[in-house]
Amino acid sequence: MNAQRSRSPRSLRQTALKTAAAAAVVAIALTGCNANGDKNADSSTGTQGSTTDTVAGGTLTILTSATEVNWDPAESQNLAITTLGLVERRLTTWGVEPGKPGVVVPDLATDTGTVSEDGTTWTYTLKDGLFFEDGTPITSADIKYGIERSFAPELSGGLSYHKSLLEGGDTYTGPFAGAELPSIETPDDKTIVFHLTSAYGDWPWIVSQPAFAPVPEAKDDVATYSQQPVASGPYRVAETKSGVSITLERNDKWDKATDDVRTAGPDQIVFSLGQDATVTAQRLIADSGADKNAFGATFVPPAQLAQVANNASAKERLVTSDAGALAYLAINTERDGLDNVKVRQAIQYATDKQAFQVASGGETGGALATTLITPGIQGRVDFNLYEAPAGGDVDKAKALLAESGWDPASRELILVSEDDSVSLSKAQAIEQGLERAGFKVTIKPEAQLAATQTLTQGDGDYDLNVSAWQPDFPSANGNIQPLFDSSQIGNGGWNIARFSDPAVDALIAQATAEIDPVKAGAIWAQADEAIMAASPVVPLVFTRNSFLHGSNVENFYIPSFPAYPNYLKASLAK
């Protein structure tokens, strides 16, 4: 995924992920079994895939370049509709379909939460008929313990939004020494209450994240849980061959009557690990033997996309997302010259988005962007404050530079880029566009971890960077707050434009505290436009992800958000 994805809204830890054109999907995908008849009959169709009735049975093979899966929810950044969602349920999850904004829906809980009048206390009640794979009832204490263990230093790397939102979370270090987190109450086996430090309208999305999966304390072995979790979903981990494969089989203690989001089609699911992305695509294009019951969990490489375009059978089996992660040019607003809004607006017009799109794989690789909020997320308003041809408007850029009074030839702008070939080609597309307008640009290649350090931990010794961002949950909060709240500058935060505006900070605080999602969406849209008026970044493209599947795989679709297949619904043809 070509995105540095968001983490905790107030904690400042960020993780840079690989470039989309070459990256493997870290969260391994899973599709299920199939349906009879014409796969497009009475279904939603198109490049995002199709849906039809689910038929149970068969073995699905997932071809992935990942060499392992960490099943420990405390250490996971897994999307709700991908791998861990097959084995471990959460309080809520995501209701996602093609062409519709994602909505939060109940999973283990009976609803998406009851909130107090001041927005700081959220209460959930568990459904009846919930059991772990060994037949033990799932209780509120199991969920509380699962959340508490995510605070332990021994278990790191997972999504951490909740750690700064829960009262006392800033100092809590987990349950292994016997300490509990008082802000999580379990008055009985079916009720769990959360006390937050302040009103937070997106809490129902937070409890859909991995750490909110139940973990039975009596069966928690920190050393082995990442390979052998206790299942609450429709599948259990049956066998792991290190670096080779993972096999899931049905969890017969899972009750479909309690679960509206998982169809549990296949009888068995086998993850085939360590698969080369190009070889995987070639196998799925050929569509022979067992590969008919397989799909690739890795983006289809650009060269194979070209092959698919000339192969009618493969083209029918290519599923391409709508707009996904936002690729953008960050402008360091603290630097000489770039602290002038007219100079930053000149960069808006000088940028050759078309050249960047070509470097990203053309229209298949991304749709041109003019806003910050990802399509498919509630509250997004489509607007363009800088109307220009896709290749830019050099004359307008030069006019704004003249108005600014700053001489672009007075110094070189340092464009930090990761040092892989794809990232460098994208940086060069930006460089040539800006230089047409008179800017002087020097590309500074750095290894991925070094670039992340420069951008998020250093003192801001850079001018420009091409980055990308995929929210961790379907709320505009994930688009705006981590990238533009002034609290996210430095110290690991991803406000790499180093943008600070009290009015925008106020809008972010207002939207974050708003409980009504429609009202919150309107405030986030207002923040989007206010930020774009100040021009700390240039939106480039909303990236598209393409996946291939075998001819027996059905119900394989990509929702409006996120830009990954919904593994909880997919199935195999009978």
504 is a domain residue: yes
* Interval 42-98: pLDDT, tens: 333 347 787 888 889 999 999 999 999 999 999 998 999 999 999 999 999 999 888
105 is a domain residue: no
Strand partners, 469: 326
Distance of CA 497 to the CA centre of its chain: 21
Strand partners, 553: 572
Domain at 448, CATH number: 3.10.105.10
Q: Tell me what pLDDT residue 10 has.
A: 29
What residue numbers bound the domain in which 418 lies?
326-543
Contact 250, 32 (CB under 8 A): no
Contact 250, 235 (CB under 8 A): yes
24 versus 356: the higher-pLDDT residue is 356
Specify the pairing of strand 440-446 against strand 553-554: unpaired
* Interval 498-550: pLDDT, tens: 999 999 999 999 999 999 989 999 999 999 999 999 999 999 999 988 999 99
* Interval 269-312: pLDDT, tens: 999 999 999 999 999 999 999 999 999 998 898 889 889 989 99
Helix (H) or strand (E) holding 86: helix 84-87
Helix (H) or strand (E) holding 85: helix 84-87
133 is a domain residue: no
In 45-196 the beta strands, taken as DSSP E runs, fall at 59-63, 92-97, 100-106, 114-115, 121-125, 184-188, 191-195
Question: d(Cα 264, Cα 106) in Å, to the nearest integer?
Answer: 17
Alpha helices in 150-276 (DSSP H): 161-165, 203-206
549 is a domain residue: no
- Token pair listed for 138: 């799932």
Total count of domains within the chain: 1
* Interval 168-182: pLDDT, tens: 999 999 999 999 999
3-state secondary structure (DSSP) of residue 239: strand
Q: φ and ψ at 226, to 5 degrees?
A: -65, -20
pTM of the shown model = 0.83
Helix (H) or strand (E) holding 465: strand 464-469
* Interval 338-356: pLDDT, tens: 999 999 999 999 999 999 9
* Angle at CA of residue 67, ends 66 and 71, nearest 5°: 85
**Biggest CA pair distance of the chain:** 73
485 is a domain residue: yes
- Token pair listed for 471: 């929210």
Q: Tell me what pLDDT residue 395 has.
A: 98
Alpha helices in 260-352 (DSSP H): 277-286, 302-309, 312-316, 341-350
515 is a domain residue: yes
Q: Tell me what pLDDT residue 301 has.
A: 86
226 is a domain residue: no
463 is a domain residue: yes
Contact 392, 351 (CB under 8 A): yes
* Interval 309-342: pLDDT, tens: 899 999 999 999 887 899 999 999 999 999 999 9
